[in-house]
Structure 1
Amino acid sequence: MKIPKFTDLILYEDDNLVVVNKPAFISSLDERGEGSSEINMLRLAKAYSDDAQICHRLDKETSGALIIAKNPEAYRMVSMQFEHRKVKKVYHAVIEGTHVFDELLVDLPILNTGKGTVSISRQEGKRAETWFQSLKYFKHYTLVECRPVTGRMHQIRIHLATQRASIAGDEMYKGKPVFLSQLKRKYHLGKDQEELPIMKRFALHAYEVTFKVSEDKEVTIHAPYPKDFETLLKLLDKFDS
């Protein structure tokens, strides 16, 4: 994988903070058990600004807006906003099936079961809430806006799965990859060719983040879709609408 140039990822920057459009397949922080050679957003950020700290995590496969503090004071300021649920996060996801979500609130507690997995547990889980709004309908898929109120691990992914609306390509939560041959009627593969999915990851993107950069200034940062997400939507538009 090509290591991105940190400066190419910057969406917003001031003296204390920087917001980047995180590429997919790069961890936010050092993953437990990974070799020290594994590149991650924290390392890229520290190479850019010595005291950089990541303010929240995005799953490795998730792309989009990631807030990074350049100093401890800024880190504290943003962390407090996350703690008090003052940061507004908007994600876009492509889900399986046609689903009419009109400000649907999924309020199901999530239990972190360890080893990178979570489950819904009304007894032991921690409170988790996500709002869902359908944005665009295709024949077999829907583009949805997801607004998590809490920040539990895999929250959007498992909440969608409980609605029988798994994110395309999210095999951990029963989502299947999208192949062009499913969408395009007369699709022919060459002999001995193996068809690859349109997206080599699950279709989830951190589209927008709104938070305070100082006592009296709030910003909304919008992260454009990466190429793979855009391609999937273009192909669904063309062959599945």
Structure 2
Amino acid sequence: MKKNVWNAAEMVVYDDDNYTIINKPPHLSTLEDRNDQTNVLSLFRAIDSGYQVCHRLDKETSGALLLAKNDEAYRHAALQFQEREVEKIYHALVKGRFLNEAIQVDVPLRTSGSGKVIFDKRRGKEAITLFRPKQFFKDYTLVEAKPITGRTHQIRAHLAYLDFPICGDSLYGGEPIFLSSIKKDFRSKKNEEERPLFSRVGLHAHAIKLTNVNKNFILKMCDYPKDMQIIMKKLNKFN
């Protein structure tokens, strides 16, 4: 299997004296991972030791990630996250036809011993996500998610709660996408097992909005990574 070679400079989509926003590629951890020492923080601290990560994205999730360059900027961002003033928009690919209208999911969550997040109204922490359909395909839906709180796996767990687990999210029951499932006249090669078109968690942090230290707004949107561009193109073509 080909090993990824990460280039920090190529990830940057916004940069000023206080903050850097990157479009994190999938399969790269935000912080140190026991299986892989390379992560966003280590890559950027190799450039400047003052970098701090302001929030996290799961390893397989791509998209907008905020980094602070100094302690003042980090504290300013942390306060905004605490006060729920940072706006984040995610795009998730799910199987089936999602609800036709916007919905708010308010289901308390807690992390189980296995690492999976579960619903627990008695011991769980408040978790609120707004969902709405963004694009319908024949057998799939692109869903827009806006988390109000910032719990671990929140969007993934809430979509699973709605019986719409994210494609490729095996932890929460999401299935990979195969070409045979979207292309009507698909024929597999003889004696060859079909490989999924998309097997990682189909979740992308599309946009982030916050204020800078000087109170000016920062709004940045991040393009889909190559794997998600390909699957969207095939869904538009065949499904």
The secondary structure found in structure 2 opposite 1:229 is: helix
Per the alignment, residue 4 of structure 1 pairs with: 6
Q: CA deviation at 1:115?
A: 4.0
The alpha-carbon deviation at position 103 of structure 1 amounts to 2.1
Equivalents in 2 of 1:173, 1:86: separation in Å? 29
Q: Given residue 220 of structure 1, which amino acid in structure 2 is its aligned partner?
A: L
* SS of 1:114 mapped into structure 2: coil
Paired positions, count? 237
The residue correspondences of 1:155-234 to structure 2 (distance < 5 A) are: 155-234=154-233
1:117 is displaced (CA, Å) by: 1.4
Match of 1:15 in 2: 17
CA distance in 2, matches of 1:45, 1:167: 30
Task: Report % sequence identity.
Answer: 41
Report the CA distance shift for 1:39/1:93 in structure 2 as closer, same or farther (over 3 A): same
Structure 2 distance, partners of 1:168, 1:198, is 11
Report matched runs for 1:68-83 at 5 Å: 68-83=67-82
Describe how 1:60-75 pairs up with structure 2 within 5 A.
60-75=59-74
Within 1, Cα distance between the matches of 2:215 and 2:73? Answer: 14
Q: Distance in 2 between matches of 1:48 and 1:132?
A: 37
Deviation at 1:192, TM superposition (A): 3.4
Letter in 1 for 2:30: S
For normalisation by structure 1, the TM-score amounts to 0.95
TM-score normalised according to structure 2 size: 0.96
Query: Structure 1 regions of 5+ residues with no counterpart?
Result: none
Query: Aligned partners of 2:44, 2:128: CA distance in 1, in Å?
Result: 30
Q: Secondary structure at the match of 2:212?
A: strand
Cα displacement string for residues 76-99 of structure 1 (whole angstroms, at most 9, x for unaligned residues): 111111111010000001111101
In 2, Cα distance between equivalents of 1:49 and 1:223 = 23
Amino acid paired to 1:176: E
- 2:46 is paired with a residue whose SS is helix
**How far apart are 1:116 and its partner, in Å?**
2.3
Tell me what 2:26 maps to.
Answer: 24
Q: Which runs of 5+ in 2 are unaligned?
A: none
8 Å CA contact 2:167–2:199 kept in 1: the answer is no
User: Could you tell me which residue of structure 1 aligns to residue 95 of structure 2?
Assistant: 96
Task: Tell me the SS of whatever aligns to 2:142.
Answer: strand
- Aligned equivalents of 2:232, 2:238: Cα separation in 1: 10
Aligned alpha-carbon RMSD (Å): 1.2
Contact 1:101/1:132 (<8 A) preserved? no
